[in-house]
Structure 1
Amino acid sequence: MIARLSGILAEAGVDHAVLDVNGVGYLVQASARTLGAIGPVGGAVMLFTEMQVREDAITLYAFGSAGERDWFRLLTGVQGVGGRVALAILSALDADELGRAVAGGDKAMVARANGVGPKLAMRIVNELKDKVGAVAIGPAGTMPAAAGGAAGDALSALANLGFRPAEANAAVAAAADELGDAATLDALVRLALRKAAK
């Protein structure tokens, strides 16, 4: 699986970008939010990625933060939400707004995204509320990964190891509380793994 790409932005479209990594051009689908933040063509870019393999296609999705990628994974785990719909939701709502919508059961907020009707919005809110849980949502309604940095990278590492989002969030949040703001990624991951194993 391709977890992230670092290279030069070769091309940017309405819903995609092409990233040149050592002469290989990777076509990635991305939210309007990510595309708006990656900078001009010709600039250096690092994007988190998620690869989906289907019978008829292999698609690479890109994100500006590990937190956005984690929300994408949660969203695509909901029946009826494919990659395009998940990107539409992430284009309409940032991680903070999405966290508040899920925590508050606000289906109208989720339905603001293109292609999301009231029934699908209700399913998304109901299913994600159970998966994310109160532990995973901080005081401002965000997942720890939304802040990025070492905590976001640690959360991504645990997710890549197979931990459920709620477990990973709880373990990383506990580790970050214990170690403080100056914690390194290595220290955070080690302590989070110990806490998740308890």
Structure 2
Amino acid sequence: MIGKLKGVIDTLGKNSIILDVQGVGYLVNCSLRTVSCLPQSGNVVVLSIETHVRETEIKLFGFLDDRERDWFRLLQNVQGVGAKLALAILGTLTPEELDSAISLQNEAIVSRSPGVGLKVAQRIVAELKDKSPRLSGDLSLKINFRKKMNESNTDTTIKDSVSALTHLGYSGQQAVSAISAARMKVGDEIDSPTLIRLSLKELIS
């Protein structure tokens, strides 16, 4: 199996590239975000590769690093999520944002990905909540958040605050860090508008 490829970018497509490796052109399927982060044709790149072998074809999927590839594999363990949908999710969310969304059990963030309905997003956060690779952020912070999510009032407050901050353009990881910092200062008994306001102060300070 191919696990990594180093070569020269021959052609950049919307969802794939052709990578020239010593004269052999490999068609590598990539997410929109991965393609957007690659340099122009003629440049050398190294991609982590996932190989899918079927009866009639062999497909290569390329990722910026092993973290992305790990999430690609993990997402496909969820019923209804195949390679195409997993790439769509990774094209919308970074590994850090996906990890945060699952740790917070926030299906709204996951459902922002094209083709991901609410039911699929709910399955993703539910089925992967104990399988997340913990690729980013502070583990103890996320465990603490998850415990708080068991309380309905706190659950709504955190979800509303994360949703508001991400809609303002902040990443899921930034939102988690800011909300955590704000809650440490004022405690758990806080409403959504106040938590959002204090979290914004943390982000711009």
Is the TM-score greater than 0.5? yes
1:139 aligns with 2:135: no
1:60 counterpart residue number: 60
Which residue in the other structure is 1:9 paired with? 9
* Distance across 2 between alignment mates of 1:63 and 1:137: 17
CA distance in structure 1 between the aligned counterparts of 2:105 and 2:8, rounded to whole angstroms: 40
1:155 maps to what in 2? none
2:109 matched to 1:109?
yes
**1:60 corresponds to which letter in structure 2?**
L
Query: Aligned with 1:8: secondary structure?
Result: strand
Distance 2:90 2:135 in 1: 18
**Paired position in structure 2 for 1:70:** 70
2:119 aligned partner = 119
**Percentage of identical aligned residues:** 47
Quote the Cα distance in structure 2 between the aligned partners of 1:9 and 1:20: 6
Q: What corresponds to 2:145 in structure 1?
A: none
Aligned counterpart, 1:97: 97
After superposition, the C-alpha distances for 1:92-140 in whole angstroms (9 at most, x for unaligned) are 101111011000011111111111111111111111112127x666417
Structure 2 distance, partners of 1:96, 1:36, is 18
Deviations 1:118-169 (A, max 9, x none): 1111111111112127x66641789xxxxxxxxxxxxxxxxxxxxxxxxxxx
TM-score, length basis structure 2? 0.65
The structure with more radius of gyration:
2
CA displacement 1:155-190 (0-9 Å, x = unmatched)? xxxxxxxxxxxxxxxxxxxxxxxxxxxxxxxxxxxx
The root-mean-square deviation of aligned C-alpha atoms, in Å, is: 1.9
| In 2: Cα distance, 1:98 partner to 1:104 partner | 10
Q: Displacement, 1:54?
A: 2.4
Tell me the residue number matched to 1:153.
Answer: none
Q: Is the Cα contact below 8 Å between 2:8 and 2:19 reproduced in 1?
A: yes
Deviation at 1:48, TM superposition (A): 0.4
For the 8 Å contact 1:102–1:129, the answer to whether it is kept is: yes
Structure 1 unmatched runs, 5+: 143-198
Number of residue-to-residue matches in the alignment: 141
Output one character per residue of 1:5-57: Cα deviation in whole Å (capped at 9) or x when no partner: 00000001100000000011100110111111110001001100001122343
Letter in 2 for 1:12: L
Q: Provide the TM-score with structure 1 as the length reference.
A: 0.67
Q: Is the 8 A contact 2:9 2:41 kept in 1?
A: yes
Provide the C-alpha distance between the structure 1 equivalents of 2:12 and 2:99, rounded to a whole number of angstroms.
Answer: 28
Contact persistence 1:103–1:137 (CA under 8 A): no
Shift of 1:73: 0.9
